[in-house]
Amino acid sequence: MNKKLFTYLAILLVMFIISAYGSLFYPHSAVRPNGPSLEPPSRDHILGTDDLGTDIFAQISKGFFTSLFVGVATAFLAMFLGGSLGLMGGYLGGKTDLFISFLINLFLSLPQLPVIIVAGAFLGQSIINVIFIIALFSWAGIAKVVRAKTRQIRENTYLQLARSYGAGFFYLFKKHLFADIFPLLLINSLAVVGKAILQEASLAFLGLSDPLARSWGLIINKAMNFSAIYYTNYWLWWLLPPVFSLVVTLYCLRLLTREIENIVYRSEL
Amino acid sequence: MITSNWNKTASHMWKNSKRRTKRYVVFLCTFLTIYLFNFFLPRLMPGDPFSHNAAYSGQDMQGLSAEDLERLRAYYGLDKPLLVQLLNTIKANLKLDLGQSILYKKSVAEVIKARLPWTLYIMLSTLIFSLLLGLILALSALENGKRDSLIYKSMSLLAEIPSFLLGIILLFFVAAKVDWLPLAGNLTPFYRHGSVVEYVLDVLRHSLLPICALTLNLTPQFYFTARTSLLNIRTKDYVLNAQAKGLNQKIIRYKYIMLNALPPIVARFFLSVGTCIGGTMLIENVFNYPGLGMVLRDAVMYRDYILIQGVFLLSATVVLCASLFSDIINNYLQKD
């Protein structure tokens, strides 16, 4: 197995295990206050408590799963939307393709963060809405790549031959298109996982994501809004851990994506 | 022979102009879609501002009576058919009237006019600094393989840290440790600036860290573009020819390579406006810098729909225009 790939996966796995311990076996709740407020780290509270007395380690553990859920769910939605639209545009051609290309260009030229903020403001701030909105604004990149690839494959002689024998779209898709498009779809969707996590964290940092879902962005937001944060040492265990977790997760996902991309392209050569 | 050649040029020109028209059509359609999205989104949502306001302001928890509601709807023109509302909105917007902000009790245009300069200042200085820094880094490592791979690696690492996290890190590791750097705001509050110089210094001091955080985040983009472009130009025949003539290395480097490598970097500048606008909005909230990003956040917090629409329309238009510019530059490049 690839050594680099293994390292990144191992780091993510370690984070997963720590977070699983924090949300399943750790004695403190991530939502209810469970101790005196603003405790420094101790044996009882590994990373201390926040201003309401909620355990910070429990919150960060829960935040990992929130981030993971947001990232993976968004990537799946974007993969489905971008994949099917890209396939449709590339395969059908003509007016459909023109329309889909226009949609792709439209969504690619929108300024992402402001659009997501505005859509979130009007649709309401539940975590499901946030996922749908981020997915709605990240499918275009996937669709663009899939469309180009489909167009390119469509002209292959073996596909034309199969079509002339009367093969339908689903047969062609299952037998020929899928194997060529899937690696591309996978790489681009993996890239969406990290972007979605970052966008949710940005929204939560602004206080515009789901106020009930414990996410890293929300912890950062609360810590930054605590007025004495600059004059005390609280930031060491209240602010740095979520920032650090976010950076490490984003790095791992990015490097993982790049490594898989390398492997796929190497196998294609 | 001549006719066929002429035909070729004509068809090329025709193709080019067709491409150009297509771009403007796409631009217009995109703008229209954003405009309509902005207009219809709040109107298609369940509920309306009046029912929201009564529950949120806390002063009047009973809600509005049916007659009051009707009177308010008529006052704001919300009882008319959608098409009439749309036409009225367009008419008002053409006169730069974006409505009244509920939160600030001022017109949206006034709020934007007061805050926009700060955002523009941060954005433009960030873009210019990152362009220069990226170009200098790429130039400095042009002939030096070891340095090149070092810079390339550190830039790839830097590119992945989101700007608002960089801002937080700078805030706690630099601003909180040093006396002369402020933690928030754009000017020292309640301070009477004795002279223009003092005022300028105060502005610079407050904007130093926000610009730093954004620049660190944006420089890799420019560096990668500049590096690719420089490497591309370096292998051109005219550079080889200049070297064979024994021209001064400095002249080759700046006049032959750098000047010719500039256009893609300038196109990158306009493309980066989109990334930069999102980053600026976040960084303003990290440093409590009173630009449009804080206005947008407050507007969403207090459900000031009219202000949200105004700020969004402005930022979307800016990004669209910038990407049109970069398209035009790229197209100009392809012609050669």
pTM reported for the whole predicted model: 0.87
User: Please, what are the domains in chain A?
Assistant: 3-21+55-268 (1.10.3720.10)
Q: Is residue B134 over pLDDT 60?
A: yes
Number of CB atoms found within 10 A of residue B258's CB: 19
pLDDT at B166: 92
B297 inside domain: yes
In this structure, the dihedral spanned by the alpha carbons of residues B320, B324, B327 and B329, taken in order and rounded to 10 degrees, is -130
User: B301 vs A120: CB contact, 8 Å cut-off?
Assistant: no
pLDDT at A87: 92
Chain B positions touching A240 (Cβ under 8 A) are 172
Higher pLDDT, A124 or A68: A68
Chain B CA closest to residue A199: B162
Contact with chain B for residue A228, Cβ under 8 A: no
Number of CB atoms found within 10 A of residue B184's CB: 14
- The first and second tokens of residue B257, run together, are 């390579």
Span A77-101, mean pLDDT? 92
Distance separating alpha carbons of residues A102 and A94, to the nearest angstrom: 12
pLDDT at B281: 92
Burial zone of B310 (CB within 10 Å; 0-12 exposed, 13-18 middle, 19+ buried)? buried
Distance separating alpha carbons of residues A28 and B329, to the nearest angstrom: 58
pLDDT at B13: 65
Question: What CATH number is associated with residue B271?
Answer: 1.10.3720.10
pLDDT at A17: 94
Distance separating alpha carbons of residues B210 and B218, to the nearest angstrom: 12
Q: How far is B160 from chain A (nearest CA, A)?
A: 7
B109 inside domain: no
B231 inside domain: yes
Number of CB atoms found within 10 A of residue B4's CB: 7
Q: Is residue A30 over pLDDT 60?
A: yes
Phi, psi of B107 (to 5 degrees): -75, 150
Q: Which residues pair with B100 in a beta bridge?
A: B107
- What is the number of residues in chain A? 269
Distance separating alpha carbons of residues B71 and B174, to the nearest angstrom: 55
Looking at A110-239, list the stretches that DSSP marks H as alpha helix, in order from N- to C-terminal side. Answer: 112-123, 127-136, 139-154, 157-164, 169-172, 178-205, 216-225, 234-238
Structural contact between residues A82 and A188, judged by C-beta atoms closer than 8 angstroms? yes
pLDDT in tens, B14-53: 667 777 787 888 888 888 988 888 888 877 766 666 665 5
Nearest of B108, B109, B158, B116 to residue B133 by alpha carbon:
B158
Looking at A206-268, list the stretches that DSSP marks H as alpha helix, in order from N- to C-terminal side. Answer: 216-225, 234-238, 240-268
Distance separating alpha carbons of residues A89 and A101, to the nearest angstrom: 7
Distance separating alpha carbons of residues B54 and B43, to the nearest angstrom: 18
In this structure, the dihedral spanned by the alpha carbons of residues A121, A123, A127 and A132, taken in order and rounded to 10 degrees, is -110
Chain B positions touching A110 (Cβ under 8 A) are 30, 34, 316, 319
B306 inside domain: yes
Vertex B218, ends B296 and B282: CA angle to 5°?
20
Chain A positions touching B303 (Cβ under 8 A) are 121
Number of CB atoms found within 10 A of residue B294's CB: 19
pLDDT in tens, A129-176: 999 999 999 999 999 999 999 988 888 888 888 888 888 888 888 888
- The first and second tokens of residue A88, run together, are 């449709």
A 123-182 residues with CB < 8 A to B: 123
Q: Residue holding tokens 């490594």? A: A259
Q: Is residue A14 over pLDDT 70?
A: yes
Q: Is residue B116 over pLDDT 80?
A: yes
- The first and second tokens of residue B169, run together, are 């890190």
Look at phi and psi of residue A153 and say left if phi exceeds 0, alpha if psi is from -120 to 50, else beta.
alpha
Contact with chain B for residue A102, Cβ under 8 A: yes
Phi, psi of A55 (to 5 degrees): -65, 130
Give the long-range contacts of residues B69-75, CB within 8 A, separation 24 or more: B73/B48
Tell me the torsion sign for CA atoms B267, B206, B170, A196. negative
HSE-up of residue A45 (Cα within 13 Å, Cβ side): 25
pLDDT at B4: 54
Collect all residues from B whose CB is shorter than 8 A from any CB in A. 26, 29-30, 33-34, 38, 41-42, 45, 160-162, 164-165, 168-169, 172, 176, 183, 274, 277-278, 281-282, 285-286, 296-297, 299-301, 303, 305, 308-309, 311-312, 315-316, 319-320, 323
User: A114 vs B296: CB contact, 8 Å cut-off?
Assistant: yes
Span A71-82, mean pLDDT? 96
User: A114 vs B323: CB contact, 8 Å cut-off?
Assistant: no
pLDDT at A9: 92
Q: How far is A99 from chain B (nearest CA, A)?
A: 11
Q: Is residue B58 over pLDDT 60?
A: no
pLDDT in tens, B76-109: 777 788 888 888 888 888 888 888 887 888 899 9
Span A110-121, mean pLDDT? 86
User: A109 vs B168: CB contact, 8 Å cut-off?
Assistant: no
Name the average pLDDT for chain A: 88
Q: Which residues pair with A55 in a beta bridge?
A: A49
Greatest distance between any 2 Cα atoms in chain B: 88
pLDDT at A128: 92
Tell me the torsion sign for CA atoms B210, B213, B216, B219. negative
Query: By residue range, what is the domain housing residue B154?
Result: 114-335
Distance separating alpha carbons of residues A118 and B309, to the nearest angstrom: 8
Span A73-85, mean pLDDT? 95
Phi, psi of B194 (to 5 degrees): -70, -40
User: B319 vs A119: CB contact, 8 Å cut-off?
Assistant: no
Span A59-72, mean pLDDT? 93
pLDDT at B336: 53
Number of CB atoms found within 10 A of residue A82's CB: 27
Distance separating alpha carbons of residues A66 and A127, to the nearest angstrom: 9
User: A109 vs B278: CB contact, 8 Å cut-off?
Assistant: no
Name the average pLDDT for chain B: 84
pLDDT in tens, A211-251: 888 889 999 999 988 877 777 888 888 889 999 999 999 99
CA B185 from chain centre, in angstroms, equals: 20
User: Considering only A95-104, B174-183, B206-215, which range has the smallest mean pLDDT?
Assistant: B174-183
Q: Is residue A189 over pLDDT 90?
A: yes
B256 inside domain: yes
- The first and second tokens of residue A237, run together, are 């265990």
pLDDT at B79: 78
Sequence-separated (6 or more) residues with CB below 8 Å from residue B16: B331, B335
B330 inside domain: yes
Structural contact between residues B167 and B209, judged by C-beta atoms closer than 8 angstroms? yes
Q: Is residue B63 over pLDDT 70?
A: no
B126 inside domain: yes
Q: How far is A172 from chain B (nearest CA, A)?
A: 33
pLDDT at B49: 62
pLDDT in tens, A45-54: 888 888 888 8
pLDDT in tens, B144-188: 889 999 999 999 888 888 889 999 999 888 888 888 888 888 888
Please report which helix (H) or strand (E) contains residue B110, including its range.
helix B108-140
What residue type is assigned to position A268 of the chain?
E
Higher pLDDT, A51 or B136: B136
User: B308 vs A247: CB contact, 8 Å cut-off?
Assistant: no
**Confidence band (pLDDT; 50, 70, 90) for A43?**
confident
Give the long-range contacts of residues B17-23, CB within 8 A, separation 24 or more: B19/B331, B20/B331, B23/B324, B23/B327, B23/B328, B23/B331
Sequence-separated (6 or more) residues with CB below 8 Å from residue B89: B39
pLDDT in tens, A190-217: 999 999 999 999 999 988 888 888 889 9
Domain count within chain B? 1
Chain B positions touching A250 (Cβ under 8 A) are 160-162
User: B29 vs A201: CB contact, 8 Å cut-off?
Assistant: no
Contact with chain B for residue A251, Cβ under 8 A: yes
Q: Which residues pair with B107 in a beta bridge?
A: B100
B321 inside domain: yes
User: Considering only B150-154, B300-304, B312-316, which range has the smallest mean pLDDT?
Assistant: B300-304
Nearest of A112, A71, A70, A60 to residue A243 by alpha carbon:
A60
Chain A positions touching B314 (Cβ under 8 A) are none
Higher pLDDT, B63 or B248: B248
**Confidence band (pLDDT; 50, 70, 90) for B1?**
very low
CB pairs under 8 A between A and B: 100
pLDDT in tens, B220-251: 999 999 999 999 988 889 888 988 988 888 88
